[in-house]
Amino acid sequence: MKIKDRSELIIAILIPIAVGTLSALFAGNMNVYSVINKPSLSPPGILFPIVWTILYILMGISSYIIYESDAPGRSAALQTYVLQLFFNFFWSILFFRFDLYFTSFVWLLALIFLIVKMIWQFNRIDHTAARLLIPYLLWCLFAAYLNFMIFRLN
């Protein structure tokens, strides 16, 4: 990856971090995770902000690669990127602020669909950009398992 403009790369990384930070602020008390019934594979709560920060950085780098591309499909891929950020933003609010476990699970399934679509679109433009999103997809699949099980247990 050749970096044309470092400030654009930094902005591309800061956008998903800002989305995640604002989502967490609007979600309110995320300590609910420590008191709800969880499945046995639930990681400790401290792990979530660490993993999400890494995923947001990878998303930002990936989006920068696509943004700098002249490939056909770039605009559609970036539109999918923005749409999945929207879905990402509201999941925490649905889950933590409103305790809508089933609704947030369905919302997360829609997010996963958008992530798959985004990876497919990004892959048509740049393989590295698409590969950087694989951990995000895997984490969201794991989150869907956790979300569904929390819905069932609570």
- Exposed (0-12), middle (13-18) or buried (19+): which is 44, by Cβ within 10 Å? exposed
Length of the chain: 154
Within 10 Å of residue 134's Cβ, how many Cβ atoms?
12
Cβ–Cβ under 8 Å, residues 94 and 88: no
Q: What class does CATH assign to 6-153?
A: mainly alpha
Give the tens place of pLDDT for each residue, 77-132: 999 999 999 999 999 999 999 999 999 999 999 999 999 999 999 999 999 999 99
pLDDT digits (tens, 9 = 90+) for 9-55: 999 999 999 999 999 999 987 778 889 999 999 999 999 999 999 99
Instruction: Give dist(CA 66, CA 94) in Å, integer.
Output: 30
Residue 133 has pLDDT above 70, yes or no: yes
Q: 93 near 26, Cβ under 8 Å?
A: yes
Is residue 4 very low, low, confident or very high in pLDDT (cuts 50, 70, 90)?
confident
